[in-house]
A and B are shown apart, each in its own frame.
Chain A
Amino acid sequence: MRLDEIIRILDAVIITNSQEPGAEIEWACATDLMSDVLYYSRGNSVLITGLAKQQAIRTSDIADIKVVVFTRGKEPDAQTIELSRKKRITLLITPYSMYTACGKLYEKGLRCCPE
């Protein structure tokens, strides 16, 4: 799914973006548990999480995740934003809950990382 499509579907606010609007994101992973991200995710995924902290960005950087979405309108602190900029990870905020955000993306064809 294209990045700009993800942004539109999730009514997301762009906090940082280092990618082209047409960048293709292959998979989605949704969790607040960072070890689950490391265990189950694939590279070139979007991470949907309620953990609006630096840990989500650090973990995504290690796991080659290019896009992170914070749910329920949670705003990250300045250090988290700076880290996402430094690591060239696109950071979005959606007003939707994790459940709704996942449902909206799934409905449009974006699937979970294969286990």
Chain B
Amino acid sequence: MKAKIDRTYEGSFHIVGGDFSRAGEASTELKSILLNVGIDEDTVRRVAIATFEAEMNIMIYATAGILRYTISPDEIRVVAEDMGPGIEDIELAMQEGYSTAPDWVREMGWGAGMGLPNMKKNSDVFRIESVVGEGTTVEMTIRLKDC
């Protein structure tokens, strides 16, 4: 038997690039929603971390973006889609420690090159697509544990 999810929940958050005063609000709200619908704490932590990294990437690199989530009886799916510069070399961007973040972002404690690896680490299925000059879409699926 899976966690006590008897229906599908969907929602989305709009993220504005560069607005650090609101950084993490969407992920925090999603975390509350997951706890409220009865998802176990370990799974919530994984989803929250993966979503937070995606939210920060939109905030750091893109003009704007959207985070969409779907909570179903078997899994949680988060899709982060941005209008940003795109990623030229995804394989390189996936390497731990590789970053193109500017200094002001590093001064805020971000841009260490662990964002995408961290999203992948906390997802059961991780997909990324990017078009230079158009934007990047990350899809993360976390399967729900058996109770």
Residues of A in contact with B (beta carbons under 8 Å apart): 32-36, 38-39, 43, 49, 51, 53-56, 58-59, 61-64
Q: How large is the interface on B (under 10, 10 to 19, 20 to 34, 35 or more residues)?
A: 20 to 34
Partner of B118, one of A32, A35, A56: A35
Q: Do B112 and A38 touch across chains, with their CB atoms under 8 A apart?
A: no
**14 interchain pairs, CB-CB under 8 A:** A34-B112, A35-B113, A35-B114, A35-B115, A35-B118, A38-B49, A39-B114, A53-B108, A54-B23, A55-B23, A55-B24, A59-B109, A61-B24, A64-B45
Q: Are A61 and B109 in contact (CB under 8 A)?
A: no
Q: How far is the CB of B44 from chain A (nearest CB, A)?
A: 9
The interface bits of chain B over 115-127 (1 if a CB of A lies within 8 angstroms of the residue's CB, else 0) are: 1011001000000
Q: How far does the Cβ of B116 sit from chain A's closest Cβ, in whole Å? A: 10
A49 to B117 CA separation, bound complex (whole angstroms)? 22
Does B53 sit within 8 A of A, measured CB to CB? yes
Give CA–CA (A61, B112) in the complex, Å. Answer: 20
Binding site for A on B (CB under 8 A): 20, 23-24, 27-28, 31, 41, 45, 48-49, 52-53, 108-110, 112-115, 117-118, 121
Question: Is there an interface contact between B109 and A62, defined as CB atoms closer than 8 Å?
Answer: no
Q: Is the CB of B109 within 8 A of A39?
A: no
B78 to chain A, nearest CB (A): 13
B90 to chain A, nearest CB (A): 18
